[in-house]
């Protein structure tokens, strides 16, 4: 069984990896979206960076042509669940 990845841990990793300034990580919840209004403002280059960090830290490989990409990155909770289910580290 894979260890459950917490949303605060994931949020901290993403904020740090992308160098996002002025974000109160305590306000980031499982429902925090990556795209759209009230979201983290992530773009495609940020997704690539996040994917590389996730691969390095958890052994999770997310390919840009994955048919579930939008679902995986819909919010912090969905990404944390995906990592928990697919991590090898």
Instruction: Summarize pLDDT for 56-80 with one digit per residue, the tens.
Output: 999 999 988 889 999 999 999 999 9
Helix (H, G, I), strand (E, B) or coil at 33: strand
Q: What is the pLDDT of residue 38?
A: 67
- Sign of the Cα pseudo-torsion (85, 44, 70, 30, in order): positive
8-state DSSP, 27: G
Q: Rounded mean pLDDT of 18-44? A: 85
| pTM metric for this prediction | 0.89
> Does 1.10.1200.10 match the CATH number of domain 7-86?
yes
Residue closest to 31 by CA, chosen among 68, 77, 79, 73: 77
Q: Give me Rg for the CA atoms of the chain.
A: 12
Q: If you average pLDDT over every residue of the chain, what do you get?
A: 90
């Amino acid at each position: 069984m894979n260890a459950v990845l917490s949303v605060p841990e994931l949020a901290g990793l993403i904020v740090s990896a992308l160098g996002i300034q002025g974000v109160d990580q305590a306000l980031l919840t499982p429902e925090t979206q990556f795209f759209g209004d009230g979201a983290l403002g992530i773009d495609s280059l940020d997704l690539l960076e996040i994917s590389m960090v996730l691969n390095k830290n958890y052994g999770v490989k997310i390919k840009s042509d994955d048919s579930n990409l939008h679902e995986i990155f819909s919010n912090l909770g969905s990404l944390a669940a995906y990592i928990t289910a697919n991590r090898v580290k």
